[in-house]
Structure 1
Amino acid sequence: MPIVHHRKPSLLSFPMWLGTRVLLRPTLSLWPLNKAGMAGLFLIDRAFAAGPKPSGVVRERMTLDGRPVELIMPSGPSRRDSETAILYLHGGAFVVCGLGSHRSMASRLSKETGLPVFSLEYRQLPQFGVGTSVADAVGAYRELVGERGYRRVIVAGDSAGGFLAGKVVEAAAQEGLPRPVAFVGISPMLDLDVGTNPDRSSRSDAYIPQNKVRELTPLLDRGPVPLQGTRRIRELADDAFPPTVVITAEGELLEPDAIALVETLDDADVDAVAHSYSWQVHAFPVLTARHPETLHAIEVTAAFIAQAIREAKDADDRKDQRAG
């Protein structure tokens, strides 16, 4: 089955869900989406960046296509695959968060997979719309598979970063670049117009109010780079789409689009699976470091990535043999 339901929540899940419902959801509902309100959100990333640094990894600042990137690699003896990497695209509704807020998530993914993770700081609102964010993500991918020499790249993202990861898949096909080895979505936003979709509801979502997403939607088309191509990642779901793993919170606003993507890919004979966790909150693996569901979600994601890499290597070996 392409949809795996996890319906035995840990005891920590209930206070986390209720806390975010009571405290975070009202705050987000009232937060102004004017220039001052959005600009002030950068302090959230600053606060995370000042917190404890993840252990078991080494970090290096660099750039990809001119944008700041944090390269995270497991520490200790290296047995890494030098031709494979992960491009991680953080979430935050294209408004908030960055390298600091998602450092823990990128570090856990690096440690669990044994791969280098390139966490990208792409441009966001209020100055830059989604088209600019997409251009930064595609530019970073283009450099990784081009001058950086990575033969296999996994694209991963949570929430808004999931949309950017999907747009990387689209751009790779359009530009004739190597297809990503896998697509990883953590509560991915797969439809830019989900806030105005009458078939979607945030009634069961712990903290995302659909009315605020609806208010955000017109701002997403802000320039200077225009958004081109699809606004719904499901429209890309055919047999050319890479193997896909999605993690969602059961009942969250964005889950129906993630389920639809996986089911469509499964119908197209693409290896795709969604793990839906009950009593969790949107993008819970990013928010909770030691939560049992977080640890499990990272584990199943890493296992899926490992399988996708093995299959990609086998395909590369067959191609090399034919060329030789």
Structure 2
Amino acid sequence: MLSRHQTFWNLYARLVQKPALALIGYQPLARKVADLNAVLTLKAPADLRLTDRTLTHADQTVKVTLCQTGLEPAGGTMLYLHGGAFMIGNLRMYRHLVARLGDAAGQRAYFLHYGLAPEHPYPIALDQATVAYQALCADPDAGPISIAGDSAGGNLVFALLHRICSRDLPRPAAVVALSPLTDMRMTGASLRTNAKSDHLVAPSWARRGKESYRAGHDPADPELSPVLGDFTGAPPCLIHADDTEILLDDARAIADALRAQGVSVEVNISHGRTHVWHLNVGRSPEADASVAEIGQFIQRVTSPKSP
């Protein structure tokens, strides 16, 4: 049974956020509305610390922000790739979640400021994620690296993992995806069957984001549809999704693809929660428990193995 806090946020998503995302087609206005929503509804932890940094690899640079709460972590580094249908999303919307995830995992957590579509279509965001990842790999103080992301950021997480595996780059230690978009061909039945039950995401919003980012490229490219990707030697993965979401089948499909290639995968399908309910961390027990589970997973798979 859902808590009253999660029930409230489900109603808020359905009555306020979902109509706004579906109806506002002018991109600058959509971003301003999303920013206003973040200011009104997302409260940063009192001990939040933000540190801007630049990561460089092969003469390419990207901007990240280190999001921290509590004590200085010593268990490695997390690279977080945010959601927002490739078109919206910024530090103001995600700083609290990234900091909480890093705290739960005992890792330094970096938020990547990647370019948004349609101004920055594929492969810009993926290229920037690749630069950030390779820069962290070259940092002797990074420790075990985890990659995490939600929704469209979940697409980037698995597209990056495909690049890492297909190019035989150093593997991360853990991968986490929250309600990921993994099939740009939009073949999942849940896109239709869950169109009404999804509290937040309308199929029209998902399609708009997909087309804005894809920019005419083949949706069957595994860098766009990582469900078709190469995951040889990939690390353990954790996937969260809800059975009311339109992206439910995307989460299931990528889990099946990973398992078929011998990857260890844990999938947690909840019931009745909004898309990426983790953003309610600090405001609902369901989000708090899910963030704690992610932290436990990362700590478990990145800890030194016994002989």
TM-score bracket for the superposition, by shorter chain length? 0.7 to 0.9
Say if 2:22 and 2:205, in contact at 8 Å, map to a contact too: yes
Alpha-carbon distance in structure 2 between the residues aligned to 1:25 and 1:275: 24
| 1:49–1:180 distance in 2 versus 1, CA, 3 Å | farther
1:126 aligns with 2:121: no
1:58 aligns with 2:52: no
Q: What RMSD in Å do the two structures reach over aligned CA positions? A: 2.8
Alpha-carbon distance in structure 1 between the residues aligned to 2:50 and 2:115: 21
Instruction: Identify the residue that residue 268 of structure 2 maps to in structure 1.
Output: 275
Where does 1:291-306 land on structure 2 (aligned, <5 Å)?
Answer: 291-306=284-299
| 1:288–1:58 distance in 2 versus 1, CA, 3 Å | closer
Instruction: Identify the residue that residue 11 of structure 1 maps to in structure 2.
Output: 4
SS in 2 for 1:170: helix
Point out the structure with max Rg over C-alpha. Answer: 1
Instruction: Identify the residue that residue 157 of structure 1 maps to in structure 2.
Output: 149
| 1:209–1:267 distance in 2 versus 1, CA, 3 Å | same
AA aligned to 1:80 is A
| 1:211–1:172 distance in 2 versus 1, CA, 3 Å | same
SS in 2 for 1:178: coil
Give unpaired runs (5+ residues) of structure 1: 1-7, 319-324
Alpha-carbon distance in structure 2 between the residues aligned to 1:9 and 1:141: 37
SS in 2 for 1:41: helix
1:217-256 deviations in Å (ceiling 9; x for gaps): 33222399xx964322222365522211111122201111
| 1:95–1:148 distance in 2 versus 1, CA, 3 Å | farther
| 1:22–1:257 distance in 2 versus 1, CA, 3 Å | same
Instruction: Identify the residue that residue 29 of structure 2 maps to in structure 1.
Output: 40
Give unpaired runs (5+ residues) of structure 2: none
Instruction: Identify the residue that residue 314 of structure 1 maps to in structure 2.
Output: 305
| 1:301–1:141 distance in 2 versus 1, CA, 3 Å | same
Q: Give the fraction of aligned pairs with identical amino acids, expressed as a percent.
A: 23
1:94 aligns with 2:83: no
How many residues align? The count is: 298
Of 120, 140, 165, the residue aligned with 1:173 is: 165
1:218 aligns with 2:190: no
1:113-167 deviations in Å (ceiling 9; x for gaps): 2210011010011311131111111110011102465342100001111111112
SS in 2 for 1:171: helix
Say if 1:184 and 1:246, in contact at 8 Å, map to a contact too: yes
1:80 aligns with 2:69: no
Say if 1:71 and 1:118, in contact at 8 Å, map to a contact too: yes
1:154-196 deviations in Å (ceiling 9; x for gaps): 00001111111112211212333211111101111112232x6
Alpha-carbon distance in structure 2 between the residues aligned to 1:20 and 1:47: 11
Where does 1:242-261 land on structure 2 (aligned, <5 Å)?
Answer: 242-261=235-254
